[in-house]
């Protein structure tokens, strides 16, 4: 189980601590490290993400991104986090909880990305294992949903390791890399057990 520390930005959005990682809300001061990490990882990330705008790695685009995150937080419709390594504070990647539905649904969608040099070392497993209790307990989501491409074996392994259950296939679910592509649909309930991940390898 992750434990939470109050963040100065807002009393309701904590720093989320996990095994060897922590997640917090993005800040404008993160731009240089974020842009460098995304830029170096572009070839690695591009097959799994929507097409990047031409100005995606610019400071002005990042400022718009931060404003959108702040608006989403104010509306309680989405929560964005950056993931960092505890040992040295290095930025690892990011995760989001979006499309929050209240009322009878109490559900939201999980998304994530990892810098190329940190992939396959257990950091994202640790980050998701920390974020899921936040989603279920603090945001009171009964369901956390996720989708991944049929060919994304790394995400399939990650989600299934975190006890997300495969619920089906959605045809042409998202436009990824410029093409409408089928996705596997996963979800976990608040009542599902959450495995304890192994410590990340450096």
Which domains are assigned to the chain? 3-146 (3.40.630.30)
For residues 25 and 7, the answer to whether their CB atoms sit within 8 Å is yes
- How many angstroms separate the CA atoms of 21 and 23, rounded? 7
Q: Give Cα separations from 102 to 116, 134, 143, 147 (angstroms).
A: 35, 16, 11, 20
Per-residue pLDDT of the chain (202 residues; tens, 9 = 90+): 333 333 333 445 779 999 999 999 999 999 999 999 999 999 999 999 999 999 999 999 999 999 999 999 989 999 999 999 999 999 999 999 999 999 999 999 999 999 999 999 999 999 999 999 999 999 999 999 999 999 999 999 999 999 999 999 999 999 999 999 999 999 999 999 988 877 788 7
Alpha helix stretches (DSSP H) within 20-139: 31-40, 42-45, 59-75, 123-133
Residue 12, pLDDT score: 58
Q: How many CB atoms lie within 10 A of CB 45?
A: 19
Residue 140 in tokens: 């009171």
H or E segment to which residue 15 belongs = strand 14-17
Q: Which tokens belong to 36?
A: 């460098």
Task: Please state whether beta strands 79-85 and 165-176 pair in parallel, antiparallel, or not at all (unpaired).
Answer: unpaired
Nearest-5° Cα angle at 32, 130 to 8: 50
How far apart are alpha carbons 37 and 186 in whole angstroms?
A: 28
pTM: 0.90
């Amino acid at each position: 189980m992750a434990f939470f520390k109050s963040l100065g930005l807002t009393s309701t959005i904590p720093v989320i601590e996990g095994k060897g990682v922590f997640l917090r809300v993005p800040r404008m001061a993160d731009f240089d490290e974020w842009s460098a990490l995304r830029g170096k990882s572009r070839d690695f990330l591009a097959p799994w993400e929507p097409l990047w705008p031409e100005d995606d790695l610019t400071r002005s685009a990042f400022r718009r991104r931060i404003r959108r995150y702040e608006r989403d937080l104010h509306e309680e419709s989405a929560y964005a986090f950056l993931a960092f390594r505890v040992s040295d504070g290095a930025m690892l990647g990011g995760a989001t909880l979006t499309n929050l539905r209240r009322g009878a649904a109490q559900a939201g969608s999980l998304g994530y990305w990892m810098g190329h040099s940190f992939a396959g070392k257990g950091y994202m497993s640790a980050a998701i294992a920390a974020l899921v209790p936040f989603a279920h307990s603090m945001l009171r989501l009964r369901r956390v949903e996720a989708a991944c491409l049929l060919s994304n074996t790394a995400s399939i392994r990650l989600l299934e390791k975190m006890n997300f259950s495969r619920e089906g296939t959605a045809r042409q679910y998202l436009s990824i890399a410029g093409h409408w592509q089928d996705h596997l649909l996963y979800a976990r309930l608040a009542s599902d057990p959450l495995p304890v991940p192994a410590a990340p390898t450096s």
